[in-house]
Structure 1
């Protein structure tokens, strides 16, 4: 595995999503990748502590927290925090199609696409989830590395995947934000 950071990522959809244009966007991350490729970034600011937000990121081991009717076989993603999921380890399964390859407890989790059907459909993806402290609040930054394969069909597939991922990841980030903020209100 190699270490990678984004270089000249265009800050526009579908490669980039950050809803708060009034503040400074995410900064480059350093993390392990399965194979080099194009970096896509999605980020959202959250009115919760970094610890509270990261606890919800770890819940991705249970469910995708996106459009459940598409990627969770119609089952609703759990709406209560399972504290037994908070301690993430390398090798843990995430959203059934990813495996944890690196973790910094309380801060970040990097996952890779499992071999088999998911990889044949989407490629050897690496996804890095990182929680950044922002003065009592936090920001969730997700950076995905998608292998770049030559050829017009592969380029078109990557473009379609980028739009599909933008829709799914946007929903996931908004759900994690909602859950972390509602949990913070209860504390």
Structure 2
């Protein structure tokens, strides 16, 4: 059975797939959140400035930018930025999350609030961050989950980790592609 990664500040790297994926480099984990102790981390390097990448994170209000057939009811995620109005706490993201906090051009924090999704996945927080790194931006996404109380919750989190790995990988790669295209047109 896979051992779950407990949030620590130690220099020991966390377990690999499915708990981590991508180029995390030396980027730090997100700040602690009460009741959230299990961490899943994903990251990609993007050849675009943080404000451009953050703009595409705002597009998650429109569509999830993952596998549209699965998580967007078959509708295609827009290939152009269609939502340029300011991000406001309380807005819905990817249909099942609510924005709880943000720092312009740097981070957004989402809570899973859709009832059906809460039953399927359990409570979780997602933190997206745009972290400047040399000639690029690291787009890092961390899922924070509560410590499982029993084997069933542990299994649910393991299944979530594998499913999220597939979906989040696709989302981050799509956001990278779209951000780099936008940066190249500027």
Q: TM-score, normalised by structure 1?
A: 0.88
1:34–1:126 CA contact under 8 A, matched in 2: no
**Runs of 4 or more off by more than 2 Å in structure 1?**
82-85
What stretches of structure 1 of length at least 5 have no aligned partner? none
Choose from 15, 18, 26 the match for 1:14.
18
Tell me what 1:124 maps to. 123
Task: Tell me, in whole angstroms, the C-alpha distance in 1 between the residues paired with 2:153 and 2:7.
Answer: 21
The SS at the match of 2:169 is: helix
Task: Tell me, in whole angstroms, the C-alpha distance in 1 between the residues paired with 2:106 and 2:42.
Answer: 16
1:26–1:43 CA contact under 8 A, matched in 2: no
Task: Tell me, in whole angstroms, the C-alpha distance in 2 between the residues paired with 1:94 and 1:148.
Answer: 25
- 1:55 Cα deviation after fit: 0.5
Deviations 1:122-167 (A, max 9, x none): 1111000000112342110101111222222221111111000000
- 1:10 Cα deviation after fit: 1.8
Count of aligned residue pairs for this structure pair:
178
1:37–1:148 CA contact under 8 A, matched in 2: yes
Tell me what 1:29 maps to. 30
What stretches of structure 2 of length at least 5 have no aligned partner? 1-5
Deviations 1:59-79 (A, max 9, x none): 001000000000000011011
Task: Tell me, in whole angstroms, the C-alpha distance in 2 between the residues paired with 1:18 and 1:30.
Answer: 20
- 1:50 Cα deviation after fit: 0.8
Q: TM-score, normalised by structure 2?
A: 0.89
CA RMSD of aligned residues (A): 1.9
Between 1:101-110 and 1:133-142, the stretch displaced more is 133-142
